[in-house]
């Protein structure tokens, strides 16, 4: 799914840094807009983000759905147990908290959907961060999906040997053995894959101690400045909204 | 500076985590501007030689004895970066490992970016390389959507770009570059290698079967147990007794072996099991399946794995073999349609029930092993499935695969052939299941090792068991009793090897060299066809 929608999204026309900021505003905005009155504003922002990023809701749901459902359940329990208010207020608290978290989760899942990891690396480099950070982010985006696929193959091959990784109280010793060795194999695979990626990287001449070429294609255009100033204004307004309440 | 090429003199190398040397007194000369092939069984030390030339051993440590001279300079005095600046580039066997970015253009440009080559110059080099390798059409593609053949080309392009950025005469080190590729991709890569040879580029290839590289090899070296056994031209080496003993002859030219396999082909046995749908282990009806909303299988139906036979799912990279296999095993679920594994929907099996009936062996058997010794590995399934007398079952399984003398050996110390046999022993044989499903079982095995595995599979079949395997190798497909051919998610053929060899639809999907080998097999099979059960069935 990573980088999948980059060519049909209007976000491609923006500099990667603007994309980072645009998605980044979801965090302060959702932190400041705590009152139920602002629920339409948060929903509007969420819809606006999804529309401008032109990613289908089902793709976002596939990417972030599981986290959201898990979080909704936790927040529901927290609101019902810890909030000492009438039931309607508890429900409203649950709704506003869930919406605020949803916008943060959706924003963080939107960026990798519309931006290649190598672009994020170049953007971080342009911001002034050391290239090792950008390269690590870039490799992680490629490495983890491959690792997940390998882990799933290992798990399935074990399943066909009757090896269950679920806790069985009647076979505690066997279960511990199975889980321990499963993680050992996954760890060995991780090391092996990491070594191969590392060899490819250094084999191409990457060195922590040498500068790398920065892309001149990353240049802030007028529309990027509009986005950046709008983002700052929105954060400021949401901050002001607290004193307004 | 450019005289001498690469010279190994009585070279020994031991990895830091091992006591036994992997390279033992290697004396080897690799000429410049030529194509040299290192051939030998897996574990002979070929990849290590390549990695040492690239200088990777300088990053991991390890004991070295003897000398290597590169362009007349002592290799030990060169730093890793010095070797990079000499234009020495290394390509992994697994095409996925050679590609670490998601955009093809960025991947090819990456080496130039890391070497701080100016942006404009790097763009020019990337354009030239893409044009040279005929991959300009891939420029904007996402690397995750490429086939293994395309990935290998992108990896090669990135390596060439890197070395052109730092040096004009690259030294290419390729570790079994064709082992993951299907017939057509192998043809494409061979064409590229021919082009590089014409350009007088220095190319060093490690492989387990010289047959594929005969046309481009200027020099071939047979390596066994870390030392060079024999060298010469590809033709003389392939004709030598040493080569036949260590690597083996290709299946397609071993008439005696093919005969022995085909004679054992017989009609399926009647199974005692009841309630099975039809005579096939896997039946799929009106199956639809999509990846990321792109329909991959559009209403396909069929069956594979007639009981008591070995069946192959054949197709090129990305044709849908693995997807069909995963649907069969219930790892993936169809969007629409039904699948039946041994008469039941795969998701209706409990873990213990499926473990007793079906064995699944992954492409890389190492991914399956979770214990230290061979015996412990084999005991896993019987213990987890609560089988009686597990020790006896293990001993029988190891005897069947001729691994009984390795019972206390560490799994890590086994050769690739032994690992493949162990993967069969610790799954299908130890549980005595009815169906064994193998993903690319011929992967990374030289002909002699593959023949050993094949003989065990035939003996397994003779017990009345069923084997289903996936392969992109035509040679592997034709030794099976039944073949199902996939192309871009469609079934284009299903039948016996005799029908397969004359089916136009299938032949069109093969590479040029695969077609040549097919013609060769046709000649051999003329005699076999007369005595094959297919013929009996027709009569």
Cross-chain Cβ contact A141/B113 below 8 Å:
no
A 2-61 → B contacts, CB under 8 A: 2-4, 7, 58
Nearest to A160 among B94, B358, B383 (CB): B358
Contact B204, B7 (CB under 8 A): no
Cross-chain Cβ contact B331/A182 below 8 Å:
no
Write down the pLDDT at residue B272.
Answer: 41
A34, pLDDT greater than 70: yes
Chain B residues in contact with A142 by the CB 8 A cut-off are 100-102
Cross-chain Cβ contact B111/A204 below 8 Å:
yes
**In whole angstroms, what is the distance from residue B329 CA to residue B354 CA?**
9
Which is more confident, A23 or B176?
A: B176
Write down the pLDDT at residue B271.
Answer: 40
In the predicted model, residues of chain B with pLDDT beneath 50 are 1-2, 267-277, 527-539
Contact B480, B311 (CB under 8 A): yes
**In whole angstroms, what is the distance from residue A154 CA to residue A152 CA?**
5
Contact B215, B194 (CB under 8 A): yes
Token pair of B402, please?
Answer: 């001729």
Write down the pLDDT at residue B528.
Answer: 47
Reduced to 3 states, what is the DSSP secondary structure of residue B276?
Answer: coil
Q: What is the pLDDT of residues A187-245, one digit of tens each?
A: 888 888 888 888 888 888 888 888 888 888 777 778 778 878 888 888 888 777 776 65
Partner B contacted by A219 (CB < 8 A):
no
**In whole angstroms, what is the distance from residue A150 CA to residue A19 CA?**
31
Nearest chain A residue to B431 by CA: give it.
Answer: A161
Nearest chain A residue to B55 by CA: give it.
Answer: A203
Cross-chain Cβ contact B100/A182 below 8 Å:
no
Question: Residue B153, Cβ neighbours under 10 Å: how many?
Answer: 26
Q: What is the pLDDT of residues A56-65, one digit of tens each?
A: 777 777 777 7
A 134-173 → B contacts, CB under 8 A: 138-139, 141-142, 146, 150, 152-154, 156-164
Conformation bin of residue A20: beta by default, left when phi > 0, alpha when psi is -120 to 50: alpha
Q: What is the pLDDT of residues B250-260, one digit of tens each?
A: 766 666 676 66
| Structural domains of chain B, with CATH | 6-248 (3.40.50.300), 258-277+309-321+348-538 (3.40.50.300)
Write down the pLDDT at residue A139.
Answer: 83
Residues contacting residue B13 through CB under 8 Å, at least 6 positions apart: B21, B22, B23, B45, B48, B52, B57, B62, B63, B64, B65, B226
Reduced to 3 states, what is the DSSP secondary structure of residue B231?
Answer: strand
Q: What is the pLDDT of residues A104-124, one digit of tens each?
A: 888 877 777 777 778 888 888
Contact B482, B467 (CB under 8 A): no
Nearest chain B residue to A7 by CA: give it.
Answer: B140
* Phi/psi at B333 (5° precision): -115, 135
Q: Which of B169, B167, B54, B83 is nearest to B117 (CA)?
A: B167
Q: Which helix (H) or strand (E) holds B181?
A: none
Write down the pLDDT at residue B530.
Answer: 44
What's the mean pLDDT in A83-108? 84
Contact A52, A10 (CB under 8 A): yes
Question: Residue A170, Cβ neighbours under 10 Å: how many?
Answer: 6
**In whole angstroms, what is the distance from residue B368 CA to residue B422 CA?**
10
Instruction: Domain ranges for chain A, please list them.
Output: 6-115+218-244, 124-203
Nearest to A185 among B112, B358, B370 (CB): B370
Write down the pLDDT at residue B289.
Answer: 92
pTM of the complete model: 0.80
Nearest chain A residue to B357 by CA: give it.
Answer: A160
**For residue B297, what are the β-bridge partners?**
B289
A4, pLDDT greater than 70: no
**Any idea what DSSP says for residue B138?**
G
**In whole angstroms, what is the distance from residue B153 CA to residue B175 CA?**
14
Write down the pLDDT at residue B44.
Answer: 86
- Residue-by-residue DSSP string for B367-431: GG--SSBHHHHHHHHHHHTT-S-HHHHHHHHHHHTT-GGGTTSBGGGS-HHHHHHHHHIIIIIHH
Token pair of A155, please?
Answer: 């798990």
**In whole angstroms, what is the distance from residue A40 CA to residue A95 CA?**
12
Interface residue of B92, B100, B363, B397 to substitute, partner A, most A CBs within 10 Å? B100
Token pair of B287, please?
Answer: 């199956």
Contact B42, B165 (CB under 8 A): no
Chain B residues in contact with A196 by the CB 8 A cut-off are 92, 94, 97
**In whole angstroms, what is the distance from residue A27 CA to residue A6 CA?**
23
Dihedral angle of Cα B83, B84, B86, B87, to the nearest 10 degrees = 130
Chain B residues in contact with A217 by the CB 8 A cut-off are 119
Chain A residues in contact with B92 by the CB 8 A cut-off are 196, 199-200
Write down the pLDDT at residue B529.
Answer: 43
Q: Smallest CA–CA separation between B24 and chain A, in Å?
A: 24
Look up tokens 């602002």; give the residue. A38
């Amino acid at each position: 799914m990573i980088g999948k929608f980059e060519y049909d999204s209007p976000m491609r026309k923006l500099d990667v840094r603007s994309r980072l900021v645009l998605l980044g505003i979801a965090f302060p905005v959702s932190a400041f807009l705590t009152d139920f009155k602002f629920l339409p504003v948060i929903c509007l922002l969420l819809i606006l983000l999804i529309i401008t990023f032109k990613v289908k809701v089902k793709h976002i749901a596939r990417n972030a759905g599981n986290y959201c459902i898990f979080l909704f359940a936790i927040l529901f329990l927290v609101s019902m147990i810890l909030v000492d208010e009438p039931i309607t207020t508890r429900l409203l608290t649950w709704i506003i908290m869930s919406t605020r978290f949803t916008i943060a989760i959706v924003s963080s899942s939107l960026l990798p959907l519309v931006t290649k990891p190598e672009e994020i690396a170049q953007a971080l480099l342009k911001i002034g961060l050391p290239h090792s950070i950008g390269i690590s982010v870039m490799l992680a985006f490629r490495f983890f999906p491959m690792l997940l696929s390998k882990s799933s193959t290992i798990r399935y091959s074990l399943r066909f040997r009757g090896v269950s990784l679920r806790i069985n109280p009647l076979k505690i010793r066997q279960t511990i053995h199975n889980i321990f060795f499963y993680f050992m194999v996954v760890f060995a695979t991780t090391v092996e894959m990491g070594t191969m990626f590392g060899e490819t990287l250094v084999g191409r001449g990457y060195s922590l101690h040498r500068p790398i070429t920065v892309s001149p294609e990353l240049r802030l255009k007028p529309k990027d400045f509009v986005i950046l100033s709008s983002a700052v204004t929105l954060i400021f307004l949401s901050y002001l909204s607290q004193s307004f309440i | 500076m450019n005289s001498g090429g690469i010279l190994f003199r009585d070279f020994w190398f031991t990895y830091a985590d091992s006591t036994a040397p992997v390279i033992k007194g290697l004396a080897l000369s690799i000429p410049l501007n030529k194509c040299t092939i290192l051939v030998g069984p897996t574990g002979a030390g070929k990849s290590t030689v390549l990695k040492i030339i690239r200088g990777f051993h300088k990053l991991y440590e390890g004991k070295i004895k003897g000398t290597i001279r590169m362009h007349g300079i002592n290799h030990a005095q060169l730093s890793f970066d010095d070797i990079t600046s000499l234009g020495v580039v290394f390509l992994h066997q697994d095409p996925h490992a050679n590609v670490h970015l998601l955009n093809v253009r960025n991947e090819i440009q990456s080496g130039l970016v890391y070497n701080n080559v100016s942006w404009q110059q790097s763009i020019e080099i990337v354009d030239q390389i893409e044009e040279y390798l005929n991959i300009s059409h891939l420029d904007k593609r996402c690397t995750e959507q490429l086939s293994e053949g395309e990935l290998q080309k992108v990896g090669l392009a990135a390596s060439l770009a890197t070395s052109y950025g730092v040096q004009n005469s690259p030294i290419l080190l390729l570790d079994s570059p064709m082992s993951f590729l299907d017939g057509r991709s192998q043809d494409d890569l061979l064409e590229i290698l021919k082009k590089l040879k014409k350009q007088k580029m220095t190319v060093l290839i490690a492989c387990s079967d010289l047959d594929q590289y005969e046309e481009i090899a200027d020099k071939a070296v047979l390596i066994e147990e870390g030392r060079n056994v024999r060298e010469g031209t590809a033709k003389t080496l392939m004709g030598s007794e040493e080569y036949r003993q260590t690597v083996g002859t290709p299946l397609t030219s071993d008439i005696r072996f093919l005969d022995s396999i085909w004679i054992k082909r017989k009609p399926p046995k009647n199974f005692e099991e009841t309630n099975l749908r039809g005579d096939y282990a896997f039946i799929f009806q009106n199956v639809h399946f999509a990846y990321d909303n792109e329909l991959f299988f559009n209403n396909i139906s069929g069956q594979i794995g007639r009981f008591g036979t070995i069946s192959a799912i054949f197709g090129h990279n990305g044709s849908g073999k693995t997807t069909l296999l995963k649907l069969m095993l219930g790892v993936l679920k169809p969007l629409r349609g039904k699948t039946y594994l041994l008469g039941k929907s795969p998701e209706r099996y409990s873990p213990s029930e499926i473990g007793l009936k079906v064995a699944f062996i992954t492409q890389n058997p190492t991914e399956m092993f979770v214990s230290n010794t061979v015996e412990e590995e084999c005991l896993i399934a019987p213990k987890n499935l609560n089988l009686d007398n597990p020790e006896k079952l293990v001993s029988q399984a190891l005897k069947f695969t001729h691994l009984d003398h390795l019972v206390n050996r560490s799994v890590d110390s086994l050769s690739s052939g032994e690992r493949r046999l162990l993967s069969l022993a610790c799954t299908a044989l130890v549980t005595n299941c009815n169906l064994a499903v193998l993903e690319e079982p011929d992967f990374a095995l030289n002909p002699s090792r593959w023949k050993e595995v094949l003989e065990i599979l035939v003996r397994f079949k003779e017990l009345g068991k069923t084997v289903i395997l996936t392969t992109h190798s035509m040679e592997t497909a034709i030794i099976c009793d039944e073949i199902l051919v996939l192309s871009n998610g469609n079934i284009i053929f299903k039948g016996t090897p005799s029908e397969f060899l004359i089916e136009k639809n299938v032949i069109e999907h093969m590479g040029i060299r695969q077609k040549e080998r097919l013609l060769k097999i046709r000649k051999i099979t003329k005699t076999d066809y007369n005595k094959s059960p297919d013929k009996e069935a027709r009569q």
